[in-house]
Amino acid sequence: MATIITTTDMFAYEFMTNAFAAAGIVAVVSGLVGYFLVMRGQTFAGHALSHIGFAGATGAGLIGLAPLWGLLAFTLAAGIVMGTLSERISNRDVAIGVVLALALGFGLLFLHYTTSFATQATALLFGNVLAVDHTMIATLAVLGAITLGALATIMRPLIFASLQPELAEAKGVSLRFVSTAFLAIVALAVAACAQIVGVLLVFTLMVGPPAAAQRITTGLWSGLLVSAALALADAWLGLTIAFYTDWPVSFCIAVLSALGYFATLAAQRTRDAHAEA
Amino acid sequence: MSAVTLDRATLRIGDRAVLSDVSFNIEFGEFIGVLGPNGAGKTTLMRAILGLLLPNSGSIKVFGRTPERGNPAIGYLPQLRTVLPDLRVRGRDFIASSFNGERWGLPVFGRHDRRMIEETLDAVGARDLAARPLSDMSGGERQRLLLAQALIGAPQLLLLDEPLISLDARHQEVAIAVVRKICRERKITVLFSAHELNQLLGTLDRVLYLGSGRAVLGTVEEVVTAPVLSRLYGTDIQVLRADGHIFVMSRGRDVERTDHLHDHNHGHENGHNHHHH
């Protein structure tokens, strides 16, 4: 009985139902897109996109636009540029690192001229899911649908190009197009994800769950399913814990995501040790 | 009509003419061993047959037509094989990714497609690899999977670029036997590049020897002779025949064996082979 009452309590608040809806949409999108980010070994590129988005978000605030649009514009542009410049962008860690540091610097400059410096900065860096309204949920739903639609369209050549680039090229797959289209998709997912957990913590939903999923199962479809389910569990459980403890939501999600990853890693080590013994 | 015809073809990479003014004619169903020193143009020739590289002069015809990227009649095992080191994708999904991998949409497979994938796994004796993730496989096991996928989709022409690299002696024999059997049963034309002639002696119909921008196609007796090879290597070559084996020597050094060992080391250290022809 007790659980039923407390759950009802939590959902009695509109900001909590809004948060659950928004976090749910974003978690599923992040889990699915992140699965391919991890498969392609491009997690650092994903991280960089979010930092570049920070400059966009603060810049948008400066000219009176909603941060989401600046975030979207910057991540999308950066994703397309990264994809076009190199088919193996994941090997360009130094270049990406320099650009993301520069972007954070510009983000700071734009914030400097914003009146509500501290609130804005915290919301952008660490997310502010409890302030989500109906418009934002609708926007995230559309953004999520576009992202997943695009991912579904390129999924087959994306997997081929990720697993066997040389063969895919020989079979007529344009590696550059696939790589660019994928980073554009990642850019959309990052922009959505940053609304919930902030630009600094997009890894919690985009990398933690898929990495754990790939330790749990080696199948493609089962991997995608587990990845999305884990991201959803992290997000919703994180929200619940935050509601009852008053800890920041993004912190709770970050802890759950890390726990999930390390638990599957440890489980696999134990399995391997048993297999060898 | 022949399987592959080169008519006074010149293939350049940058300023270098890898093959110049080369003409030969490969018939349907022939098993051709492609040999020659590193950089002689084995990979370049295969890329040209795939339509990835256009001849600078002369013509190349595959089944009587100008090569086109993505020709489904050609099965290909590239020499440069990038396999992400921590790829937790199972063998079956890895193989399946190359099956019509250039098409858009989701990677869904019908019953007929799935049976074809299973049959191909059986044909190369890779059934034991189907459920294991690539990150747990040895170089030789990955190689067997790659051989399987070159056979998927009932190709008429197989281009196998150094398929024996990083296989141990037993698996090398198995791989040759599998290709020979499939080639004979399905009447497939095979271009099989290798460093070692001797393993292929009982299998190949004719040998295509490349070197110094030239190419000589003929039986082993015609081609593997001191005058022909001296011309191709651009140095004094002796050919010794002993006990059913042929040794190609340059100043007392076994030409094939030293090349081969060199590649072998590379393959183990890096997980893939860096040889740009």
CB contacts < 8 A, A to B, total 98
Residues of A in contact with B94 (CB under 8 A): 163-164
Answer whether B84's CB lies under 8 Å from A37's CB: no
pLDDT tens-place string over residues A20-78: 999 999 999 999 999 999 999 888 888 899 999 999 999 998 888 888 999 999 999 99
Token duo for residue B113: 């497609």
Q: If you measure CA to CA, which chain A residue comes closest to B105?
A: A153
Alpha-helical runs (H) found in A164-248:
165-170, 175-197, 202-206, 208-216, 220-245
Q: Residue A186 and residue A180: Cα distance in Å, rounded?
A: 10
Q: Residue B272 and residue A198: Cα distance in Å, rounded?
A: 38
Residues 217-246 of A with CB under 8 A from B: 218-220, 223
Q: Residue A100 and residue A202: Cα distance in Å, rounded?
A: 14
Q: Residue B131 and residue A241: Cα distance in Å, rounded?
A: 38
Interface predicted TM-score (ipTM): 0.82
Look at A172 and B103 and tell me if their CB atoms are within 8 Å. no
The pLDDT > 70 percentage for chain A reads 94
Put simply, whether B110 touches A (Cβ < 8 Å) is no
Pick from B93, B104, B133: which is nearest to A154 by CB?
A: B104
Look at A152 and B69 and tell me if their CB atoms are within 8 Å. no
For chain B, what is the radius of gyration of the CA atoms? 19
Average pLDDT over residues B194-207: 88
Look at A218 and B104 and tell me if their CB atoms are within 8 Å. no
Look at A173 and B104 and tell me if their CB atoms are within 8 Å. no
Q: If you measure CA to CA, which chain A residue comes closest to B79?
A: A166
Could you tell me which of A231, A243, A239, A241 has the C-alpha nearest to residue A202?
Answer: A231
- Give one DSSP letter per residue of A91-104, joined into a string: G-HHHHHHHHHHHH
Could you tell me which of B44, B76, B90, B47 has the C-alpha nearest to residue B153?
Answer: B76
- Torsion sign over Cα A109, A115, A121, A123: negative
DSSP code, position B251: T
Tokens 């992290």 locate to A234
Q: If you measure CA to CA, which chain A residue comes closest to B98?
A: A160
pTM: 0.86
Distance from the Cα of A211 to chain B's closest Cα (Å) equals 9
Q: Residue A225 and residue B124: Cα distance in Å, rounded?
A: 31
pLDDT band (50, 70, 90) for residue B138: confident
pLDDT tens-place string over residues A135-179: 999 999 999 999 999 999 999 999 999 998 888 988 889 998 999
- Output the pLDDT for position B270: 37
